[in-house]
Amino acid sequence: MLAISLKSLLAHKVRFLLTAVAIVLGVSLVAGTFIFTDTIDAQFDDLFEDIYSGIDVSVRADVGDFRAETEPFPGDVLDIVLAVEGVEIAEGGVTSLATGVLDKEGDPIGGRGPPTLGFSWAEVPSLTPMRIKEGAGRAPTGSQDIVLDANTVANAGFALGDTVTVVGLSGPEQFELVGIASFGDQDSLLGATIVLFDLEKARELFGYGDEYTGISVQAEAGVTAEELTERISLVLPAGVEAVTGETERNEQVAEINEALSFLSIGLLSFAGVSVFVGAFIIQNTFRIVVAQRIRELALLRAIGATGRQIRSMVIIEALVVGIVGSVLGVGFGFAMAFAIRGMMNAAGMGIPLGALVLLPRAVIAAMLVGMILTLLSSLLPARQASRISPVAAMREEAARTPRRSLHTRALAGSVITGLGVLLIGLGLFVDIGRSIAYVGAGAAIAFMGISVLAPLAASPLADFIGWPLPRLFGISGQLARENTKRQPRRTASTASALMVGVALVVFFAVFGSSTKASINETIFELFPADLTFSSTSQTDPELRAPISPAFAERLGVYDELSVVSAMQFGRVVIEGETQIIGAFDPETIEQVIVLDAIGDAVAAVAARDSVIVSASFLEESGWAVGDTVTAEFAHTGEVALTIVGTYEHGDFGKLFLSSDTYLANFRYMGDSFVFVNAADGVSVLAAQDAISPTVETFGNIKAQTKSEIVEDAEGQIDQALALFTGLLLFAVMIAVLGITNTLTLSIYERTREIGLLRAVGMVRRQVRRMIRWEAVIIATFGAMLGVGIGIILGWAVVRALADEGFGAFRVPVGQVILALVLAAFSGVLAAVWPARKASRMNILDAISNE
């Protein structure tokens, strides 16, 4: 059987190729995702290996569940450590995320991309990967000195001796670039902007006293890292801990892996869509191929092959195609990884470039997906093949396999679709957890159900879509339309694949524009502030880059402003969960934002150690006003906070302290937002003009009016939409390829018919036109279904999120029409090859009697 299978594959190279291509595309996004994430992973691994290679023990503040890099501890700990037996050498340093570097134009470097990291220069080379590049200056020694990483220097066009402005806690300050640094032999730390100062200046700039945020220790020969860690731990004061360098590295790697796993889950979901769409195509292809081979298979049956043998033959063929397709898919995955990286970077994610890494798991995952995909896709067609009766070989009109009755189809399709809708409904409207999984699975099942129903709609819809064709293109147009109606099942299957892609694109478009509309409403309703300031440097995305505390202070002197109100954020652990907590000045906050506080909650939070909680989070956590919760701060440890009130509008945050309470419990690194109102009789524009000198000196602070905030938010949504749409394009491409597939196979079936048309006088252009419009009808059919489903799904999700502030449901009509038109046009592309092939078909093949 294997031999026959292989021969049959080789004899039908085009079929083989077409099936394989569908698999390649389906698999390649899976492979690409793994290659992409593995590459980033490996880059980080290498980097941390470098950074920690000489460090045996790390001493740092003991802050429990918090990230420790920037929490300081007393400077005399270094003496304690140095005194421990077995310590070869130890050096303390400070790190900060709260710095921004301005480029030559005074704009912040980095933007929304990789963060800016500030370090003190380490004197001991074995304890740091940082080096001054050969001939590129020297280490920072004085309070005017700054060293930047080579990548940043190159990108910003700095040269040694240039003046560089850094915005620290106390505002902008100027330095002289005295050195250019690298990491081992790497010019860039994954694209981050690195600023290095001498220890004293770094402490001043980052707001530390006689403190360190870390001490790196190298053990004497013969002393293990574990031993030394234990010894050091014994003598450390409370609040400071020692871990092995390896532990610290593993923690960092784990943290990054966690962040990456989000990314890879996201990407894999899109890969899943591609695989799902690919399954439609592959199954369709196998089914057509089996239908076309009925005579051949029946002949095998007639000469004695059992149904089982036929079935295994079809499956073996599928597996061979699956293997070949999967292997090629892995190769193609490299291209995908490149494409993903390009798209991420286009969306401003700043992912470092570098050679791609192929790990076994990428290959295994891709192979598994490819094999399972093909195997499952071939099962039904294989079963069908095994049921072909030997007599079929004799009959002229053999190509007709028994069709399920319309009723059965309508019933089965409705039941499956209903099940999918039920799951979506459960996920959206019933609180059962894992709602995204329910919605995803529900959508997949609903798509399948609709694809079962679709053949019922194929004929009428093809008539509808194709009605102008006969008039416009005469017989070519008429035949194009008739051909799509001839095999409704095939047309529907092909269109369904496109339907899935289009539905998701439209869904995101609807969801995005509804979100925008909601944001628009919310911001204008709940944001009385005339201007909002935020930092443009990226440090900690959850907390936002702090604005130098000096900024709000300096704004305070302007008469053009009536209110200056700052908001801070930080992390706190409550009941074992890390939460983001905000803080504001209770006296002024209500003039700049609307919290919809219940009663005098805002005034009440002015009392020390009190907190207000948003109504929804209060309910979620099962707390009540008057309760006391224990909050753990990195800086001050456990503090009992009394819940003194609640507020309706949780968009700004779910937990708020007064700024006083905040300052008592956090190391104040600056403000996340500064809101201002123009004084009476002063226009926002005039106020903006008045304060612009101050804003400009800080460089990395931007002022936004309400409409600019809306625009900004919309811009971010658009960026996300572009990314999603880009990722979905792979699925759409597969679907378009599916049209090519179906058409090509159909053309083989219609060799004689096309030959006849050519014989009685159809010119090649007319043949091409016929195939092209057939493709356009199929594509439009799929796109119309997709648009419908996408809008309905969007509506359901928006409705389900009504509680979370989604007031608006908007269908972006222009975008939807564009999607429809582009999808229809994709039919033209899909048809290029088959149309060419059909128009060049040998007429004699067609009319010779087999």
Partner 1 sequence: MGAGGMLSETEGGSVTGDVAVRYAARLENGVKTYGEGDTAIHALNGATAEFERGRFTAIMGPSGSGKSTLLHCIAGLDTLTSGIAYIGEIDLSTLKDRDLTLLRRERIGFIFQSYNLIPSLSAEENILLPLSIGGKQPDEDWYGTILDTVGLRPRLTHRPSELSGGEQQRVAAARALVSQPEIIFADEPSGNLDSKASAELLGFMRHAVDEFGQTIVMVTHDPGTAAYADRIIFLEDGRIVDEMYDPTADSVLDRLKSLGG
Long-range contacts of 724-727 (CB under 8 A, 24+ apart): 724/270, 724/508, 725/505, 725/508, 725/509, 726/343, 727/267, 727/270, 727/340, 727/343
- Distance of closest approach, residue 756 Cβ to partner 1, in angstroms: 7
Q: How far apart are CA 215 and CA 73, in angstroms?
A: 10
- Cβ proximity to partner 1, 480 vs 703, nearer residue: 480
- Minimum distance between the CB of residue 822 and partner 1, rounded to whole angstroms? 29
Nearer of residues 115 and 466 to partner 1, judged by Cβ: 466
- Smallest gap from Cβ 723 to partner 1, in A, equals 44
Cα 346 from Cα 337, distance rounded (Å): 14
Query: C-beta of 481: minimal distance to partner 1 in Å?
Result: 9
Q: Give me the helices (H) in 188-224, please.
A: 199-206
- Six token digits for residue 550: 């000096």
Q: How far is the CB of 833 from partner 1 (least distance, A)?
A: 19
**Identity of residue 693:** P
**Residue 811: DSSP 8-state:** -
Question: Rounded to an integer, what distance in angstroms lies between the CA atom of residue 596 and that of residue 74?
Answer: 43
388 to 306, 378, 402, 472, 726: CA distances (angstroms): 10, 16, 10, 42, 43
Q: d(Cα 66, Cα 68) in Å, to the nearest integer?
A: 6
Spatial separation of the C-alpha atoms in residues 264 and 71, rounded to whole Å: 31
Q: How far is the CB of 473 from partner 1 (least distance, A)?
A: 9
Nearer to partner 1, 299 or 475 (CB): 475
Q: Measured from the CB atom, is 472 or 685 closer to partner 1?
A: 472
813, with CB counted inside 10 A (0-12, 13-18, 19+), is exposed
Task: Please report how close the Cβ of residue 760 comes to partner 1 at its closest, in angstroms.
Answer: 5
* CA–CA separation, 22 and 742 (whole Å): 11
Asked if residue 152 lies in contact with residue 194, where contact means CB atoms within 8 angstroms, the answer is yes
Minimum distance of partner 1 from residue 111's CB (angstroms)? 58
Residue closer to partner 1 by CB (options 173, 482) is 482
Report the residue number, 157 or 849, with the smaller CB distance to partner 1: 849
Residue 131 or 485 having the CB closest to partner 1: 485
Alpha-carbon distance of 362 to 366, in angstroms, equals: 6
Are 22 and 325 contacting, i.e. CB atoms less than 8 angstroms apart? Answer: yes
Judged by DSSP in three states, 686 sits in helix
**In the complex with partner 1, which residue's Cβ is closer, 484 or 688?**
484
Could you tell me the smallest distance in angstroms from the CB atom of residue 475 to partner 1? 4
Q: By C-beta, is 449 or 477 nearer to partner 1?
A: 477
Q: How far is the CB of 749 from partner 1 (least distance, A)?
A: 11
- In the complex, minimum distance from the CB of residue 745 to partner 1, in angstroms, rounded to a whole number: 17
Site of interaction with partner 1 (CB under 8 A): 474-475, 478-479, 482-483, 485-486, 752-753, 756-764, 766, 843-844, 846-849
630 token code pair = 């224990």
The owner of tokens 């918090």 is: 66
**Closer residue to partner 1 in complex, CB, 351/757:** 757
Report the nearest approach of partner 1 to the CB of residue 256 (Å): 60
CB 87 within 8 A of CB 81: yes
Cβ-proximal residues to 684 (8 Å cutoff; 6+ apart), any chain? 530, 531, 678, 705
Looking at the Cβ atoms of 112 and 485, the one nearer to partner 1 is: 485
CB of 396 to partner 1, least distance (A): 9
- Taking the least distance from each CB to partner 1, the nearer of 35 and 747 is 747
Helix (H) / strand (E) containing 120: strand 116-120
What count of Cα atoms within 13 Å lies in the side-chain half-sphere of residue 163? 6
**Smaller CB distance to partner 1: residue 301 or 481?**
481
CB of 488 to partner 1, least distance (A): 13
Give the CA count within 13 Å in the CB-facing half-sphere of 96: 33
The Cα 494–Cα 831 span in angstroms is 13
Which are the contacts of 817, defined by CB distance < 8 A and separation ≥ 6? none
Q: Which is closer to partner 1, CB of 458 or CB of 791? A: 458
Shortest Å, Cβ 844 to partner 1: 6
Give the residue with the Cβ less far from partner 1, 29 or 294.
Answer: 294
| Count of CB atoms situated within 10 Å of the CB of 378 | 28
CB distance 349 to 719 below 8 Å: no
Task: Name the strand (E) or helix (H) holding 131.
Answer: strand 130-137
Give the Cα separation of 497 and 466 in Å (integer): 20
The set of residues, in sequence order, having a beta carbon less than 8 Å from that of 764 and lying 6+ positions away, is 758, 839, 840
Beta bridge partners of 643: 611
Measured CA distances, 554 to 170, 664, 674, 676 (Å):
11, 22, 12, 12
Q: Which residue has the tokens 């134009």?
A: 105
